[in-house]
């Protein structure tokens, strides 16, 4: 055990001396976390909604003002395709279209408001509720005027003016109704916009650094260090164990840095810490297995880098580390879940956003554990062969 720990410490020191390590371990993930968190860190509780006003009348402008007074941040659009594109990309929670003739229809049998949602949107109910509330409030006065005139049996201008004034006075005097919403079992919101940035960058860079950690293994084999160590009484078992511990330690160092920044500096709430730590440990073990595998099959350090960067970033993109999988088509979400990244990010999202515990993410943990075991066994078999060369 002492020999394995000594080998692990040596492996960590050797990797930390690599020039690329400072960049991929600290500088790049920190910069990305800061950029992403700042970009989405306005702190507003309003949902972004696009508005296409094809009627362009006084009444449609009043309806728009009503939307802005609700829990919606309204952005005006002049083209339906542009609004649909931004909904699809996730920049808007929904789109609202006021068709031409909205004002005339409002004064007649009733007007129609068209709402557009992305099929993967999680804010549809909230947006629909806000729009329906605005529409209901906006339609109170015209409805009361129609009922009043029908009751009086008149439709002249004088009667319309009097009934409209009374209806507006009554509508203005009606007390507001507020809803206090509580989600059972949810983690109280921390107000931090850095939560998603923290766990996506943790997932991306621990895996990428795990792959790059194959470089010292290739160097050891190329310089004959591994072969000389194999000739010592230590044997192959402690050496393989030490190599694996070294890669695991590197991942834990990376995780400690990113969790420390997220929680300590940016105020991210993690939820159930034991579940989060188990997820960190499992992901670091998976990254360690990948690093050992590349160290076994790679012929030169440059070859390991050439494999690691495109594979690590490509799998991160497919798995949701670059953008949420909710903004991609369903078939791309299916493809994304062929990578371990998607399962890890799903688990992190549940832990951070919903306070999930072990049982809630059992499927994700099971998939990650299975991938880790397969890669670990394969890496040990290949590494045993390569170290003896």
The answer on pLDDT for 354 being more than 70 is yes
How high is the pLDDT of residue 175? 46
Instruction: Tell me which range, 87-91, 248-252, 334-338, is most confidently predicted by mean pLDDT.
Output: 334-338
- The residue among 62 and 205 whose pLDDT is bigger is 205
The answer on pLDDT for 339 being more than 60 is yes
Instruction: Indicate the pLDDT class of residue 174, thresholds 50, 70 and 90.
Output: very low
Determine the Cα–Cα distance for residues 375 and 96; give it in Å rounded to an integer: 49
The answer on pLDDT for 92 being more than 60 is yes
Output DSSP code: residue 175.
Answer: P
How high is the pLDDT of residue 180? 40
Over residues 196-209, the mean pLDDT reads: 88
Judged by average pLDDT, the poorest of 57-61, 189-193, 202-206 is 189-193
Over residues 198-203, the mean pLDDT reads: 89
Contact 33, 262 (CB under 8 A): yes
Domain ranges of the chain: 2-40+193-387, 47-138
How high is the pLDDT of residue 177? 38
Over residues 185-191, the mean pLDDT reads: 40
Q: Tokens representing 115?
A: 């709402």
How high is the pLDDT of residue 367? 95
How high is the pLDDT of residue 169? 62
Determine the Cα–Cα distance for residues 243 and 38; give it in Å rounded to an integer: 38
Q: Has this prediction a pTM greater than 0.75?
A: no
Determine the Cα–Cα distance for residues 126 and 116; give it in Å rounded to an integer: 13
Task: Scan for tokens 């609202």, then name that residue.
Answer: 96
Question: Under CATH, what is the fold of the domain 47-138?
Answer: abc type-2 transporter like fold (3.40.1710)
How high is the pLDDT of residue 248? 82
Instruction: Indicate the pLDDT class of residue 196, thresholds 50, 70 and 90.
Output: confident
Q: Is 47 helix (H, G, I), strand (E, B) or coil?
A: strand
Over residues 92-108, the mean pLDDT reads: 78
Task: Scan for tokens 């949810």, then name that residue.
Answer: 186
The answer on pLDDT for 111 being more than 60 is yes
∠ CA 52-54-58, rounded to 5°: 100
Instruction: Tell me which range, 102-116, 216-230, 298-312, 330-344, is most confidently predicted by mean pLDDT.
Output: 330-344
Instruction: Indicate the pLDDT class of residue 110, thresholds 50, 70 and 90.
Output: low
CA distances from 159 to 150, 162, 163, 379 (A): 11, 5, 6, 87
How high is the pLDDT of residue 262? 84
Kind and range of the H or E element at 260? Answer: none
Determine the Cα–Cα distance for residues 338 and 341; give it in Å rounded to an integer: 9
How high is the pLDDT of residue 190? 41
Q: What is the pLDDT of residues 264-292, one digit of tens each?
A: 877 788 888 899 999 999 999 999 899 88
The answer on pLDDT for 217 being more than 90 is no
| H helix intervals, 70-139 | 80-88, 102-106, 124-138
Q: Tokens representing 381?
A: 């078999």
Output DSSP code: residue 179.
Answer: -
How high is the pLDDT of residue 188? 39
Q: Is 49 helix (H, G, I), strand (E, B) or coil?
A: strand
How high is the pLDDT of residue 282? 94
Contact 336, 318 (CB under 8 A): yes
Q: Tokens representing 324?
A: 């949420």
The answer on pLDDT for 42 being more than 90 is no
Q: Which of 202, 208, 200, 201 is nearest to 325 (CA)?
A: 200
Strands 94-98 and 47-53: parallel
The answer on pLDDT for 144 being more than 80 is no
Over residues 221-248, the mean pLDDT reads: 66
CA distances from 354 to 100, 266, 351, 357 (A): 42, 19, 6, 9
Mean pLDDT of the chain, nearest integer? 76
Over residues 339-356, the mean pLDDT reads: 90
- The residue among 217 and 347 whose pLDDT is bigger is 347
């Amino acid at each position: 055990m002492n020999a394995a720990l000594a080998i692990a410490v040596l492996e960590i020191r050797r990797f930390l001396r690599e020039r690329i390590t400072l960049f991929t371990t600290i500088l790049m993930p920190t910069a990305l976390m800061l950029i992403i968190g700042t970009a989405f860190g306005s702190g507003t509780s309003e949902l972004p909604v696009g508005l296409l006003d094809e009627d362009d009348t006084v009444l449609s402008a009043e309806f728009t003002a009503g939307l802005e007074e609700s829990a919606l941040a309204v952005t005006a659009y002049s083209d339906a395709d542009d609004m649909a594109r931004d909904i699809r990309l996730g920049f808007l929670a929904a789109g609202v279209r006021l068709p031409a003739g909205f004002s005339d229809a409002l004064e007649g049998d009733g007007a129609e408001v068209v709402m557009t949602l992305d099929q993967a949107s999680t804010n549809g109910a909230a947006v629909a509720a806000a729009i329906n509330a605005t529409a209901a409030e906006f339609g109170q006065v015209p409805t009361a005027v129609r009922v009043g005139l029908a009751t009086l049996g008149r439709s002249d201008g004088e009667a319309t003016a009097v009934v409209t004034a009374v209806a507006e006075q009554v509508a203005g005097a009606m007390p507001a109704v507020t809803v206090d919403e509580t989600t059972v079992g949810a983690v109280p919101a921390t107000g931090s916009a850095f939560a998603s940035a923290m766990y996506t960058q943790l997932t991306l860079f621990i895996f990428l650094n795990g792959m790059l950690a194959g470089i010292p293994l290739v160097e050891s084999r190329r310089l004959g260090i591994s072969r000389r160590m194999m000739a010592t009484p230590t044997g192959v078992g402690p050496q393989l164990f030490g190599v694996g511990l070294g890669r695991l330690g590197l991942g834990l160092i990376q995780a400690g840095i990113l969790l420390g920044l997220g929680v300590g500096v940016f105020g991210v709430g993690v939820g159930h810490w034991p579940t989060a730590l188990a997820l960190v440990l499992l992901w670091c073990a998976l990254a360690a297995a990948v690093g050992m595998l590349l160290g076994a099959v790679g012929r030169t350090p440059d070859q390991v880098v050439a494999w690691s960067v495109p594979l690590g970033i490509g799998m991160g993109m497919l798995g949701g580390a670059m953008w949420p999988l909710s903004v991609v088509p369903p078939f791309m979400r299916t493809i994304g879940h062929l990578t371990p990244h998607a399962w890890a990010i799903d688990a992190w999202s549940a832990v951070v956003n919903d306070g999930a515990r072990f049982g809630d993410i059992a499927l994700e943990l099971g998939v990650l554990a299975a991938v880790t075991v397969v890669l670990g066994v394969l890496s040990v078999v290949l590494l045993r062969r390569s170290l003896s060369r």
